[in-house]
Chain A
């Protein structure tokens, strides 16, 4: 069936709530309104106000309540209206949810999913455009995913809901209705921790995730005559599928990491460091990164274009690395 990225998210929640009576959705405006972006439209009508719960504007409360429910055997999905606001629930996530299993010697788990719209390119300004995934990749006990396709959006959300550990699920709002994709009508799950090889190539590897996957794929097609690019979509950022990354870089000898999050302290730094350490003798060029400039995402479209990685910058970076 042909679905948008956001519809894939809605379907995943709907199907999981149908499958498992312990799954519930909590967040700001998720019930009556059906979510600020309409990701949960119709779910309250179908599953009732006890399972699709409108919450006060307090992310700390949403996460905290979710952790309590999870400890008691529920599987709450906690929506951040914009992922930018996740920082209000930060302490609950990193100090409570992420440490729960450890603190209890493995005797309890914390099966929550925190999901919300991330990313820029939609002229949302600095409070509605952030990509804070790197903050959470620093925290053991969490899992972090960032799907780029409707198929992965659905499959990874289902996997996240069924996972016994807290999963932070970054959905990219730029892709919500721009992606329309044929996905199977029957049940499927995308495993957490497994990258997707989007395109095979010999000359260089581009490692990416989220929204830039599409720009990188376009570059790979457009530049096919000059350079044969291998594209890896990480999909899961914690834990990263190192086997896929290393296998590819060992083959091509060149790696470029592209993400929309800011460069400094971003996932790209971790990937680059690990490549430099473990693939050193296979490298035929500097490991390169492309991310947002180290500034807040501006509101003005022209400025946003200047800050975010775009088609042109991706092409330029690939060309530079290919020529090296």
Chain B
């Protein structure tokens, strides 16, 4: 078979070499390491040794020709029929430690025999896989252990696809990590190149330092619980939350629900609030945004993350294009999310890409609560319990006390990005839509 003789890289900044002179001719028999030709580069002059024993089959570069590194200079025919792997690269000389190879190679004396090498007693490390192994720095290893991450799922942007600290931070910020946890059992598409090592063993949860009395139960955090904890703390730490409240008369919505029921459709209040929010976001888009570093990205599409409670913890699947779908579709999607979340069948893709969040704690949700923003979004809306309450309304020009289903909506916005006018304007508009019953 034919083995290539290539232009080696002699020095870090060298990109090409010039063929000075051939020392062999086509057809000549050569020994392994026998000098084949002289080359000259910006840094050094050197002789190129034959990578294998055999017969010179072809000479592909003439004296004076400039060849880029790794460019083929000649082909050597080996007499073996077996496949001989071409050398991956000629040795790289380190001028500082190895001396100047060109200078050494030009000497005509026989080379000084190398001193014997003591073989290390430990087994040699396995050869690196072709596509490069995944290297992990201490900080990345620590973060992976802390967050229970499988590094093979994180796309690396460092040298040779290394997962950098920034990659991990971005992965965590994107919320994909939370998604990865329930999806672990299924074979997901690994985004990392080549064979990645198995996830580093997760650190055992630290034993609590608190004194335990008989009957106390220690519940170590699961990965998803750690993930939620980390996300909540980071969100509170990152965004100055402003919480504003609207008291909404759900009278119209209640009537619409009753009408829908007559038509056989059992809607909760949630689809109405989702649709009202999507409509308000379309009209007042400041809140439909995510933060990236020191920029705000105003999102064109409205994808609403909806919090779903599961036994394992909170999951937040995303309802895509919430402004373009009907109440019926929204309601169906909510039922579907609920059922699949319970069964652990929400896919990671469904958990990312939200542009605004809504959380509905349900009929036992109490009067109101102050939600935490779902990073990197800038706003979140929380439904309170709908309760009947006497309210003063205007009936034909007269103040009258009537009984109405009332609900407190709490909106949290990130004051880094959203100022009072925009935040309040949004919530006010949601309330208007709900009270006027502007639904499609």
Contacts and interface: CB of A to CB of B under 8 A. Distances in A.
A305 interface: no
B159 A282 contact: no
Contact of B164 (A281, A282, A284, A293): A284
Given A253-B165, A284-B164, A284-B165, A323 B159 contact: yes
A284 B139 contact: yes
Given A284-B164, A284-B165, A323 B138 contact: no
Contact of A253 (B96, B139, B159): B139
A135 interface: no
A281 B159 contact: no
B158 to A, nearest CB: 6
B142 interface: yes
Contacts of A280: 138
Nearest to A320: B159
A281 B158 contact: no
Contacts of A282: 138-139, 142
B139 A283 contact: yes
B48 to A, nearest CB: 26
Contact of A285 (B96, B137, B142): B137
B159 A283 contact: no
Contacts of B164: 284, 324
A324 B138 contact: no
Determine the main DSSP class of B at the interface with A.
helix
A323 B137 CA distance: 13
A284 B159 contact: no
B162 A283 contact: no
Nearest to B142: A281
Contacts of B165: 253, 284
B74 interface: no
B39 to A, nearest CB: 23
Which of the listed residues A283, A284, A293 has the most CB atoms from chain B within 10 Å of its own CB?
A284
Interface string B111-139: 00000000000000000000000000111
A324 B159 contact: yes
B140 interface: yes
Contacts of A253: 137, 139, 165
Contacts of B162: 324
Interface string B131-166: 000000111111000000000000000110010110
B414 to A, nearest CB: 20
A99 to B, nearest CB: 38
Contacts of B96: 293
Interface in A301-324: 323-324
A284 B165 CA distance: 6
A137 to B, nearest CB: 24
B158 A283 contact: no
Interface in B309-358: none
Interface string A225-259: 00000000000000000000000000001000000
Interface in A271-292: 280-285
Interface string B153-193: 00000110010110000000000000000000000000000
Contacts of A285: 137
A293 B95 CA distance: 12
A70 B293 CA distance: 56
Nearest to B163: A284
Contacts of B141: 281
Contacts of A284: 137-140, 164-165
A83 B164 CA distance: 43
B105 to A, nearest CB: 23
A288 to B, nearest CB: 13
Contacts of B142: 281-282
Nearest to B164: A284
A197 B137 CA distance: 26
Nearest to B12: A316
Nearest to A250: B139
A112 B165 CA distance: 47
Interface string B82-97: 0000000000000010
A72 B142 CA distance: 56
Interface of A: 253, 280-285, 293, 323-324
Interface of B: 96, 137-142, 158-159, 162, 164-165
The 7 lowest CB-CB distance pairs between A and B, nearest first, are A284-B165, A281-B142, A284-B139, A284-B137, A283-B138, A281-B138, A253-B165
23 contacts: A253-B137, A253-B139, A253-B165, A280-B138, A281-B138, A281-B139, A281-B141, A282-B138, A282-B139, A282-B142, A283-B137, A283-B138, A283-B139, A284-B138, A284-B139, A284-B140, A285-B137, A293-B96, A323-B158, A323-B159, A324-B158, A324-B159, A324-B162
Given A282-B139, A284-B139, A293-B96, 8 more contacts: A281-B139, A282-B138, A284-B140, A284-B165, A285-B137, A323-B159, A324-B158, A324-B164
